[in-house]
Amino acid sequence: MALIEIKNLHAEVGGKPILKGIDLSIESGEVHAIMGPNGSGKSTLSYVLAGREGYEVTEGSVTFDGADLLEMDADERAVAGIFLAFQYPVELPGVTGMTFLKEAVNARRKAAGEGEIDAMQFLKMVRAKAKALGVTDEMLKRAVNVGFSGGEKKRNEILQMSVLEPKLCVLDETDSGLDIDALKVVSEGVNALRSQGRSMLVITHYQRLLEHIRPDRIHVLAQGKIQKTGGPELAHELEASGYADFAEAAA
């Protein structure tokens, strides 16, 4: 059974239809990529899956891990195992990275009927994971994303992902704003999280990210619909021909 199954998904923002019938299903352990031109609905898809307010589903269904995803609030979806790595991670003044992570972990434990996590044990675990991603202790003590560089913000997202151990990771333009070195660190972090029990949906405009994170399937999203699906080779085709064909095809 697929971990997530999206059927004929239509969604609008502020009354404007953006997604116009998406069908997509991802098996457990698979990595799928969604590529597409600007304005094709890539980010909208990630927000709809994460349950952001203001993104209205008008038709279709999404089944996640056997449950009706669209019935759940954003925080319930997160606890159920959906993680969105933000294109533009948000600043939380005065809230340290460590506090934020602990709150997030405890929210999951609370939902599972467990007590709060042991502070020392947690500190150890986070430090080990942070080290692998080049996130320093100093960064964990700073307020979340405040004064972080683009690369620091993205590494921090991947750290959160690694600590929260989601079932489905949605990476929204994680490569944007990264130089080639930072891209490498982030990609390695993501690859380290690939596992049998974890699926990924990598959203990107460019092919370069997919050089580092090799997807099992690639979907081309344009005009609010998936126009084409293929293997990793599709990325190279797109690199050569661009998205123009799809824009025209849909129009």
Partner 1 sequence: MVATADTVRQVEDVTGKEYKYGFSTVLEMDMAPKGLNTDIIRFISAKKEEPEWLLEWRLKAYEQWLTMQDPDWAKVGYPPIDYQDLYYYAAPKNMDDGPKSLDEVDPELLRTYEKLGIPLKEQEILAGVVAVDAVFDSVSVATTYKKELHKHGIVFCSISEAVKDYPDLVRRYLGSVVPFADNYFACLNSAVFTDGSFVYIPKGVRCPMELSTYFRINAQNTGQFERTLIIAEEGSYVSYLEGCTAPQRDENQLHAAVVELVAMDDAEIKYSTVQDWYPGDENGKGGIYNFVTKRGVCRGKRSKISWTQVETGSAITWKYPSCILQGDDSVGEFYSVAITNNAQQADTGTKMIHIGKNTRSTIISKGISAGKADQTYRGLVRIGKRADGARNFTQCDSLLIGDKCGAHTVPYIESKNPTARLEHEATTSKISDDQMFYCQQRGLSAEDAVGLIVNGFCKEVMRELPMEFAVEAQKLIGISLEGSVG
The residues that touch partner 1, with contacts defined as CB under 8 A, are 50-54, 73-75, 78-79, 83-84, 86, 89-95, 99-100, 103-104, 107-108, 111, 143, 160, 164
User: Measured from the CB atom, is 55 or 246 closer to partner 1?
Assistant: 55
Find the shortest distance in angstroms from Cβ 58 to partner 1: 20
Q: How far is CA 3 from the centre of its chain?
A: 15
Question: In whole angstroms, how close is the CB of 179 to partner 1 at the nearest point?
Answer: 24
Query: Which of 76, 137 has the CB closer to partner 1?
Result: 76
Instruction: Return the number of other C-beta atoms located less than 10 Å from residue 65's C-beta.
Output: 15
DSSP 24-52: EEEETT-EEEEE--TTSSHHHHHHHHHT-
**3-class DSSP state of 11:** strand
* Closer Cβ to partner 1, 143 or 247, answer by number: 143
Q: How far is the CB of 31 from partner 1 (least distance, A)?
A: 20
For residue 170 the two structure tokens come to 């949605």
Cα of 89 vs its chain's centroid, Å: 12
Name which of 31 and 82 has its Cβ closer to partner 1. 82
Least distance between partner 1 and beta carbon 172 (Å): 11
- Other beta carbons less than 10 A from residue 38's beta carbon: 8
Cα angle, residue 201 at apex, residues 200 and 204 outer, rounded to 5°? 130
Least distance in angstroms from the C-beta of 221 to partner 1: 21
Nearer Cβ to partner 1 (102/219)? 102
If the CB atoms of residues 87 and 199 are measured against partner 1, the closer one turns out to be 87
Q: At its nearest, how many Å lie between partner 1 and the CB of residue 75?
A: 4
Contact criterion met (CB below 8 Å) for 22 and 226: yes
CA distance 79 to 70: 14
